[in-house]
Amino acid sequence: MRYQFQSEQGDYSFNSQRFTSIIKALISINAALFLLRYFMVDQFDLLNLGLSSSPKLWQPLTYMFIHGDFFHIFMNMFVLWMFGTEMESIWGSKKFLRYYLVTGVGSGLVWLFFNYGNTFSILIGASGAIYGILLAYGLMFPNRKVLIYFLFPVKIKYFVTFLAAIAFISSIDSSSSNISHLTHLSGMVIGFLFLKLPKIKYRTALLINYKIAESRERKSQKKKAGIISLQKKVDRLLDKVSEDGFDALSEDEKDQLYTYSKRLGRDVKKD
């Protein structure tokens, strides 16, 4: 697919005419490794950098920078430049690079979890991170439009939802495909969690604090109700003592007066 942006009036202006620093570095590394593999295939087996089902320590990172053919690397780098430039400009280089690596490495680890021990599988390409960037762009600019094949305008939120649905359906049974749809879907899910986790943590903390305060209030009200009840019982016994004297109380009532007064004094002292 070919992509072209069309910003709605009032939206953040799209500016992909320049290469930001991290975008430039990522594209340069990917292009250099692709050319190295293409021209020096006999001297270097760069598939060792791909993520195998029995991985070496560096492979969950390096697999993102190896691509299979020109169309594979061109589409990934084109989408990275087209969508990622503005994201880096808004977020800053550090946050953008962190997000790119988290979604890329994370989606690779998800693939590894489902393919561990499969000696015939190897994962290469930056698609997990690319789909993560698409997800982030869709969340940030949901009403921007992308022209598919330069003809059909579609809002980004629908476009990203469509890609996620395709990735999900295709990942259910991808045994006959050489495309890792699971990695695409994982990049989106990890990107969503990365972006939403701070809000989720904040809301969770608010909910927990609310529940704690609510529980303390219930305990306080219950304690106050207990004190009022005890006070009424003590007042009733004291009224009887005032009218008929202490000896008018039965032994049980004397014990009750002592017990209730002691408990009431303890509770009041604590307050």
Instruction: Delimit the domains of the chain by residue range.
Output: 5-204, 211-270
Say whether domain 5-204 belongs to CATH 1.20.1540.10: yes
Q: What is the pLDDT of residue 269?
A: 47
Q: Stretch 7-27: mean pLDDT, rounded?
A: 66
More confident residue, 118 or 25: 25
Is 50 exceeded by the pLDDT of residue 5?
A: no
Is 60 exceeded by the pLDDT of residue 199?
A: yes
Band (pLDDT 50/70/90 cuts) for residue 55 is confident
CA 69 to chain centroid: 32
CA 264 to chain centroid: 51
Q: What is the pLDDT of residue 119?
A: 66
3-state DSSP call for residue 123?
strand
Average pLDDT, the chain: 80
Q: What is the pLDDT of residue 186?
A: 93
> Which residues, listed in sequence order, are joined to residue 152 by a DSSP beta bridge?
148
Q: What is the pLDDT of residue 42?
A: 58
Cβ atoms 59, 1 nearer than 8 A: no
Q: What is the pLDDT of residue 133?
A: 95
Neighbours of 214 (CB within 10 A): 10
Q: What is the pLDDT of residue 81?
A: 93
Q: How many whole angstroms separate alpha carbon 215 and alpha carbon 92? A: 43
Lowest-confidence region among 3-7, 111-115, 142-146, 219-223: 3-7
Q: Token pair for residue 23?
A: 């975008």
Q: Stretch 28-35: mean pLDDT, rounded?
A: 93
Is 50 exceeded by the pLDDT of residue 104?
A: yes
Cβ atoms 123, 135 nearer than 8 A: no
pTM for the whole structure = 0.69
Cβ atoms 142, 136 nearer than 8 A: no
Q: Helices 251-270 and 181-244, interaxial angle, to 10°?
A: 130
Neighbours of 250 (CB within 10 A): 8
Per DSSP, 146 falls in state E
Q: Token pair for residue 25?
A: 């570095």
Alpha helices (runs of H) in the chain, residue ranges in sequence order = 21-39, 59-62, 70-91, 93-115, 127-140, 156-172, 181-244, 251-270
Band (pLDDT 50/70/90 cuts) for residue 95 is very high
Is 70 exceeded by the pLDDT of residue 261?
A: yes
Cβ atoms 84, 30 nearer than 8 A: no
Q: Token pair for residue 100?
A: 């790119």
pLDDT (tens digit per residue) in 120-145: 788 999 999 999 999 999 999 988 88
Is 80 exceeded by the pLDDT of residue 174?
A: no
